Structure 1
Amino acid sequence: MNTPITRRAFVRNTAALAAVAALPRRLRAHSAGDKLNIAAIGIGGQGSADLRAVAMENIVALCDVDADYAAHAFAEYPQARRYTDFREMFDREKDLDAVVVATPDHLHAVVTMAALQHGKHVYCEKPLTRTVHEARAIAQAAAKAKVATQMGNQGMAFAGNRQLDEWIQSGAIGAVREVHVWSDRPTQRGKMPLWWPQGVERPTDTPPVPETLNWDLWLGPAPHRPYHPAYAPFRWRGWWDFGSGGLGDMGIHNLAPVFSALKLGAPETVSASSTALVDDSVPLASLVHYRFPARGDLPPVTLHWYDGGLLPARPDELEAGGELDPEDGILFVGDEGKILVEGWGGEHPRILGRNGDQPYRRPPSDETAHARHAAEWIAACKNGSPTRSDFRFAGPLTEAVLLGAACVRNGGRKLVWDSASMTFTNDPRANQYLHYTYRDGWRL
């Protein structure tokens, strides 16, 4: 027997169907074979590698302010619509599911925030942001948006990185109270030349802006300055307005395994020393000391960061003739032993002083971590599975890294950090390095 449908029920059911149809794609069910619609912003450098790692999905839109630097990526995805301004892209692309952000550091926060506010899943290159204030804001916005996030510290997918968690948390070397972490950046293999300029004065000449570059959009929220090839492309990382040197670059990679294994959060204090300070440019080398409080049953930890070719003392337990990797590494000092990590991002850990390789085996070199790191994010976008470096993890990690950068800029004096109020309580002058005033027309 058919039941008549009242006008009120018809209107109610029709409205419900319309509401489901209007849901953003991110809130509709995705099967494993359902491809995501992905856009990428900043595709000329690392962004092109990030794109290749997600190329099995639908690459529907690409955005870059430098048509020449990004030409190879535009050519690789001819079907994707092209944009110069990411804001225009978000206004026009109504069916995006996810966004890859690989701009210079100073644009990470404004681009990522726009993606989150549009309800998109986000993969953002490291460091998550250029300032401490931005890192906190992005982590909070991601939690509110309830989307899948991942920061591009690809070493989190290394088997060795995951093995470190098991070793440390199972007590393989006892309680860890001291850690040394290093990278030779900005040098190359501990020697000159530099990957990018650091410890230099700001250029005074004003060459013409290349016709293929939108310099105003490249600057984004950063203070205005004339174009110079000392900044773009790629060479921006050693300038405080755009990056934070070796600490902001490889510090995120090499400190992530430490934060994961030791369950670190905000430091209590930070102090530093460095080569000569220059107003605009990151010093050539720095040494940063963090003090972290106890966490439950875990004791306080002192963490030392070295860059620019500086290294910690060679551990006595290292085999005869053995030397520390001059490029990247981690040394965990436990009450009952030490773990040495050779390579970046936790790639090759081994326990020093053990005979043989059982039960702690050094994993082989892992060339597929980048693809797996991206695949982990893709899976999260589709089914809500966890990621190893989501913004809940990446936000506090980035904050701590950038607190070290702020301390270096402040002359290295010991700073006491209050995470709740986001202030240095013993030296208010240092708080100026936690954020800056955006240029007119830009907001977070």
Structure 2
Amino acid sequence: MSKKDKNSSNSRRDFMKTSATALAGFYIVPRHVLGGPGFIAPSDKLRVASVGVGGMGGGDVRGIYGTGKVDMIALCDVDDSRAKQSVEAHPKAKYYKDFRVMLENEENNIDAVSVSTPDHMHAVIAMMAMKMGKHVYVQKPMAHDIYEARMLTEAASKYKVVTQMGNQGSSGDGVRKMVEWYDAGLIGEATKVYSWTNRPVWPQGIPWPEKGQTPPKDLDWDLWLGTAPYKDYVENLVPFNWRGWWDYGTGALGDMACHIMEPPFRVLGLGYPKSAECSVGSVYVGEFQQGYFPESCPPSSHITLRFDRPGKEDLEFHWMDGGIQPTRPEELEANEQMGDGGNGVIIEGTKGKMMCSTYGINPQLLPTSKTKDINVPETLYRVPKGDQGHYANWVEACIGGYGSKEFDLLSSPFSVAGPLTESVLMGNLAIRSYDYRAPRKENQNQFDYPGRGIKLLWDGENMKITNFEPANQFVKRQYQGDYSL
């Protein structure tokens, strides 16, 4: 980790140590007194535009509006049928299909933007909003590519806007308890981390369908594709199964790791990994098919990341998906549940171990009987309502403004979410590290994945694999059309 990375990590590592009394003495000052671009007086409501308002996006709209301090000014979605519920709930909000048109038309009418689209569109929408000086809330993962995550992180500071990634567990009490336990030395110095999920629950490890379909009449397929290469619409891709295709999603790792890897990332104050290794599962699909398809995420994977910690041994960080799990710790009794069953985290230390479920819920020492005897003082700020207060955590910071006391209490600003997201996407970089090879049959492309057989060495500061050049094609993808950051 570079000195810059270390300092950033350490400063954010301590962010929750701000006392709740930091808000004491806060008083309302009229907007005309304080002024300044992007400032929102505490007496006003945050004016929000939302992009992607069906499904999870609809939940984000409800969560943000439900804080009671928001006016929904505009809604945007490429799928009218999916947007219907949100549109009906906010009849005064203007409705758009193209986020670019919405932002251009509503620039003077909004303070903030939420982004809840498929992964491949997160960065371009968020960047356009930030360049306009708008605060942004972006669903996890905050970006599709490592390069995008870095650019968004830098832009948040450059444009002085309030940012939050939608990994709500970062606002929960569980991760804060784990930080306090670790700081109190209950498990000693961490040596290994194991994290896992039962995802994917959508198709992966399959070839792209040969026959295209006519898009549903309410879906603007060209706008949905956005930055991705043009392909004909295929059945059941929308609204959910896009997660298993690299052009649009980031697989089980991108979907769940921002929830599951976040607690140990926060507890240990991690920055960029120094290396990545992987192994993946395959499926048998018939003669001349190797079971690996460059368009599709694998059905299962095991990623090993290593983090450099100056003055200490490297930390070994494991990620497993597709139902793969680590060996049960000896400290767990035979009938005790590991994590929440399908997902979880175990941090091994020199003096003990601790475990939690998705979002950092239900933290426990191992053996679990130790947990009831813990008597560690609460030193870290608790977000009101915990993970249910994640939206309000962002809204309050937007109203307070960049650099305010509320800003310092953010759970997952891009300064934290960016390095976490880059580490998550490093796993996908390893998975995708292939070379083309000679076709086995005429017009049938074949692929080798030599990057999966070696340790990929990562220069985090320069965003570059130093020992296997083909892997670097996946650090930054090329957008179609006129989309850009």
User: Using a 3 Å threshold, how does the CA distance of structure 1 residues 84 and 289 change in structure 2: closer, same or farther?
Assistant: same
CA contact (8 A) 2:280 2:298 kept: yes
Match of 1:3 in 2: none
Q: Percent identity?
A: 40
Match of 1:376 in 2: 393
Q: CA deviation at 1:320?
A: 3.6
Deviations 1:295-336 (A, max 9, x none): 5x6642100000000000000001242242331100000000
Q: CA deviation at 1:367?
A: 12
Letter in 1 for 2:336: G
CA contact (8 A) 1:271 1:407 kept: yes
Q: CA deviation at 1:53?
A: 1.2
Structure 1 CA distance for aligned equivalents of residues 49 and 375 of structure 2: 42
Equivalent of 1:287 in 296, 302, 316: 302
CA contact (8 A) 1:53 1:370 kept: no
CA contact (8 A) 2:73 2:109 kept: no
Equivalent of 1:421 in 444, 459, 462: 462
Structure 2 CA distance for aligned equivalents of residues 319 and 367 of structure 1: 34
Q: CA deviation at 1:229?
A: 2.7
Is residue 60 from structure 1 mapped to residue 73 from structure 2 by the alignment? yes
Farther-moved stretch of structure 1 (151-160 vs 404-413): 404-413
Task: Name the SS for the 1:302 alignment partner.
Answer: strand
Match of 1:250 in 2: 256
Structure 2 CA distance for aligned equivalents of residues 122 and 229 of structure 1: 32
Structure 1 CA distance for aligned equivalents of residues 220 and 387 of structure 2: 30
User: Using a 3 Å threshold, how does the CA distance of structure 1 residues 368 and 199 change in structure 2: closer, same or farther?
Assistant: farther
Q: CA deviation at 1:370?
A: 4.4
Deviations 1:217-241 (A, max 9, x none): 1011111111113321121111011
CA contact (8 A) 2:279 2:302 kept: yes
Match of 1:84 in 2: 97
Letter in 2 for 1:69: R
CA contact (8 A) 1:286 1:306 kept: yes
Task: Name the SS for the 1:185 alignment partner.
Answer: coil
Q: Which consecutive residues of structure 2, in runs of 5 or more, have no partner in the other structure?
A: 1-31, 283-291, 377-382, 434-448
Superposition misfits of 4+ residues, deviation over 6 angstroms: 19-22
Equivalent of 1:437 in 469, 473, 478: 478
Match of 1:100 in 2: 114
Q: CA deviation at 1:422?
A: 1.0
Match of 1:406 in 2: 429
Deviations 1:196-225 (A, max 9, x none): 211111011111111111111101111111
Structure 2 CA distance for aligned equivalents of residues 356 and 420 of structure 1: 39
Alignment of 1:144-183 (within 5 A): 144-183=158-197
Letter in 1 for 2:76: C
CA contact (8 A) 2:365 2:371 kept: no
User: Using a 3 Å threshold, how does the CA distance of structure 1 residues 377 and 319 change in structure 2: closer, same or farther?
Assistant: same
Structure 2 CA distance for aligned equivalents of residues 119 and 196 of structure 1: 37
Alignment of 1:328-347 (within 5 A): 328-341=343-356, 343-347=357-361
Letter in 2 for 1:202: W
CA contact (8 A) 2:260 2:360 kept: yes
Deviations 1:42-81 (A, max 9, x none): 0111111111111121011000000011111111111111
Is residue 390 from structure 1 mapped to residue 396 from structure 2 by the alignment? no
User: Using a 3 Å threshold, how does the CA distance of structure 1 residues 360 and 349 change in structure 2: closer, same or farther?
Assistant: farther
Letter in 1 for 2:130: L
Structure 2 CA distance for aligned equivalents of residues 355 and 232 of structure 1: 46
Task: Name the SS for the 2:335 alignment partner.
Answer: coil
Match of 1:196 in 2: 202
Structure 1 CA distance for aligned equivalents of residues 374 and 34 of structure 2: 54
Task: Name the SS for the 2:45 alignment partner.
Answer: coil
Is residue 122 from structure 1 mapped to residue 128 from structure 2 by the alignment? no
Q: CA deviation at 1:397?
A: 0.7
Letter in 2 for 1:272: C
Task: Name the SS for the 1:203 alignment partner.
Answer: coil
Q: CA deviation at 1:170?
A: 2.0
User: Using a 3 Å threshold, how does the CA distance of structure 1 residues 350 and 64 change in structure 2: closer, same or farther?
Assistant: same
CA contact (8 A) 1:169 1:262 kept: no
Letter in 2 for 1:39: A
Match of 1:191 in 2: none
User: Using a 3 Å threshold, how does the CA distance of structure 1 residues 63 and 355 change in structure 2: closer, same or farther?
Assistant: closer
Task: Name the SS for the 1:287 alignment partner.
Answer: strand
Equivalent of 1:265 in 266, 271, 277: 271
Letter in 2 for 1:236: W
CA contact (8 A) 1:45 1:234 kept: no
Q: CA deviation at 1:21?
A: 11
Across the two proteins, how many residue pairs are aligned to each other? 410
Match of 1:185 in 2: 199
Letter in 1 for 2:128: A
Task: Name the SS for the 2:359 alignment partner.
Answer: coil
Letter in 1 for 2:307: F
Is residue 69 from structure 1 mapped to residue 116 from structure 2 by the alignment? no
Structure 1 CA distance for aligned equivalents of residues 155 and 127 of structure 2: 7
Deviations 1:156-177 (A, max 9, x none): 1111111111111221100001
CA RMSD of aligned residues (A): 2.0
Structure 2 CA distance for aligned equivalents of residues 21 and 370 of structure 1: 32
Equivalent of 2:47 in 18, 37, 53: 37
How high is the TM-score relative to the length of structure 1? 0.89
Q: CA deviation at 1:96?
A: 0.6
Letter in 2 for 1:263: G
Structure 2 CA distance for aligned equivalents of residues 356 and 22 of structure 1: 50
CA contact (8 A) 2:130 2:136 kept: yes
Match of 1:209 in 2: 215
How high is the TM-score relative to the length of structure 2? 0.81
Structure 2 CA distance for aligned equivalents of residues 313 and 422 of structure 1: 33
Structure 2 CA distance for aligned equivalents of residues 403 and 154 of structure 1: 22
User: Using a 3 Å threshold, how does the CA distance of structure 1 residues 262 and 21 change in structure 2: closer, same or farther?
Assistant: closer
Q: Which consecutive residues of structure 1, in runs of 5 or more, have no partner in the other structure?
A: 1-18, 187-194
CA contact (8 A) 2:258 2:424 kept: yes
User: Using a 3 Å threshold, how does the CA distance of structure 1 residues 283 and 314 change in structure 2: closer, same or farther?
Assistant: same
